[in-house]
Amino acid sequence: MRPSLRALALVAGLLSAAPAMAAPPNAAETKMIATIRTEHERHVQLLEKLVRVNSGSMNLKGVEEVGRLMRAEFEPLGFEVRWIPMTETGRAGHLVATHKGNGRGKRLLLIGHLDTVFEPDSPFQGWTRRGGTVEGPGVGDMKGGLVIIVSALRAMQTAGTLKDADITVVLTGDEEKPGSPIALARRDLIAAGRASDVALDFEGLSQEAGQDIGSIARRSSNSWTLRVEAKSGHSSGVCSPSMGCGANYELARILEAFRTELPEPNLTFNVGMMAGGAKAQANEGETGVSAIGKTNIISGEAVALGDIRTLSNEQEARVRAKMQAIVERPLPHAKATLQFDDTGYPPMAPTEGNKALLRKLNEVNATLGLPQMPQGDPARRGAGDIAFVSFVDGLVGMGMAGEGSHAPGETADLTSLERQAQRAALLMSRLAKEPRGKR
């Protein structure tokens, strides 16, 4: 997007966020704000402790250790904490912490994850602090978010707003590499969502040109596999009426049609791997493809794998139907099959309820003297766990700001820790006073 268009998009987002009139903090809010500021270094130390524990998704002991560290933070705050093993899915497990309030206010679900993309064999380990920036594996995605949850809850306890709040925290141990079957892997998160009125996702804060952005939607992430079979033979007959053009030409035809016919707003379509020849296949884990053949043989097999990301279930169904229609108009002597893997992440659409939550967050921003947060572009965020509970109102990106997520050199901005914890503490305290919904 050109800078001028991006600026216009930000202005439109600000208007949709409905800037609130500034309301001064009440006594409890003033105390929360001060507590978070006073305890800043305490929470930086907690962040360092969490980051120094390697918790790559497949490092089950490391994930469990981060779970134990978080248990030690929740229990003194009056939470009942459970560890739910996920042996059946091949992952460590999930931490669920529950705080019982007065039973009258909105039930809040706080979502995060314990794991990172950096396994023990990754060269990117440790912790480095340079002024207001910290570097380390998972520091932004999303151990910073875990610390913000703790910081906000501690402030609420100090100010007396936690005691009446009904809060469930679900920290999954496999967000970066979900276990299978996904229905089992997300069973407990979905159950917590059905018992809640509001979901807050503590993954990283979105920013653009230094502006904090409000996120009310996430796109899906699902994969597809395209396999082509065609008549094979000597290349001297390629594209003749009796032989056809072979599997590679058919694969190319389909992918080019996908590129030209599928585009629409909020959709991305990626071809990650492809191969074709006399024989072609994907490996068992679908992490690679291979082919064998010769230059003088018409290709008999071809395969391609990729992903599709959409903003709603309706868009997902529509795009899949278009893809299937393209596949079903083959070149002569060729046949293709298209399969979708439905074990990925669903979309989280930008609902009116989510927009209302962003307006409430902007009321908090007004109280804190912070700029209004415009509604962000969901295409700028990846998929996430909150999408599994998109049947309740939700906000995304309550965690720390940073750069380089999922790559060596990942950083987080320490100034955002205090700002985000204050936003979370005030927002949760206000929501906990609102009448809960009926289910």
The pairing of beta strand 80-86 with beta strand 133-135: unpaired
As a 3-state breakdown, the chain gives helix, strand, coil percent values, each rounded to 5, of: 40, 25, 35
Kindly report the number of other CB atoms within 10 A of residue 110's CB atom: 27
Give pLDDT, residue 3: 43
pLDDT at 7 over 90: no
Rounded CA-CA distance 61/52 in Å is 14
Return the SS3 of 228: strand
Residue 383 pLDDT level (bands cut at 50, 70, 90): confident
Kindly report the number of other CB atoms within 10 A of residue 365's CB atom: 24
pLDDT at 296 over 90: yes
| Helical pair 27-38 and 144-159, crossing angle rounded to 10 deg | 140
Kindly tell me the number of DSSP H helices and DSSP E strands found in the chain.
Answer: 11, 18
Summary mean pLDDT of the chain: 94
pLDDT (tens digit per residue) in 68-110 = 999 999 999 999 999 999 999 999 999 999 999 999 999 999 9
Q: How many CA atoms lie within 13 A of 207 on its CB side?
A: 17
Q: What is the 3-state secondary structure (H, E, C) of 237-305?
A: HCCECCCECCHHHHHHHHHHHHHHHCCCCCCEEEEEEEEEECEEEECCCCCCEEEECCCCECCCEEEEE
CB of 233 within 8 A of CB of 297? yes
User: Which sign, positive or negative, has the C-alpha torsion 359, 361, 367, 368?
Assistant: negative
Residue 21 pLDDT level (bands cut at 50, 70, 90): low
Rounded CA-CA distance 349/315 in Å is 10
CATH numbers and ranges of domains, the chain: 3-218+348-431 (3.40.630.10), 221-345 (3.30.70.360)
Classify residue 180 as left (phi > 0), alpha (psi -120 to 50) or beta. beta
Rounded CA-CA distance 214/217 in Å is 9
User: Looking at this protein, which amino acid is placed at residue 79?
Assistant: F
Return the SS3 of 387: helix
In the chain, pLDDT over 70 holds for what percent of residues? 94
| Helical pair 60-74 and 40-51, crossing angle rounded to 10 deg | 160
Residue 236 pLDDT level (bands cut at 50, 70, 90): very high
pLDDT (tens digit per residue) in 263-276 = 999 999 999 999 99
Rounded CA-CA distance 56/414 in Å is 23
Residue 205 pLDDT level (bands cut at 50, 70, 90): very high
CB of 302 within 8 A of CB of 248? yes
Taking residues 155-164, what's their average pLDDT?
98
Please give the distance of CA 118 from its chain centroid, rounded to a whole number. Answer: 16
Phi first, then psi: give them for residue 170, nearest 5 degrees: -120, 115
Rounded CA-CA distance 151/45 in Å is 12
pLDDT at 5 over 50: no
Give pLDDT, residue 436: 87
Extended beta strands in 293-333, E state? 301-309
Return the SS3 of 411: strand
Exposed/middle/buried for residue 16 (C-beta within 10 Å: 0-12, 13-18, 19+):
middle
Taking residues 194-209, what's their average pLDDT?
96
| Distance set, CA 234 to CA 253, 275, 280 (Å) | 21, 19, 18
Give pLDDT, residue 240: 97
Kindly report the number of other CB atoms within 10 A of residue 268's CB atom: 13
Residue 4 pLDDT level (bands cut at 50, 70, 90): very low
Give pLDDT, residue 438: 60
Kindly report the number of other CB atoms within 10 A of residue 306's CB atom: 16
pTM: 0.87
What would the two tokens of residue 346 be? 């669903």
| Helical pair 313-327 and 247-261, crossing angle rounded to 10 deg | 140
Exposed/middle/buried for residue 87 (C-beta within 10 Å: 0-12, 13-18, 19+):
exposed
Kindly report the number of other CB atoms within 10 A of residue 340's CB atom: 15
pLDDT (tens digit per residue) in 385-437 = 999 999 999 999 999 999 999 999 999 999 999 999 999 999 999 999 999 86
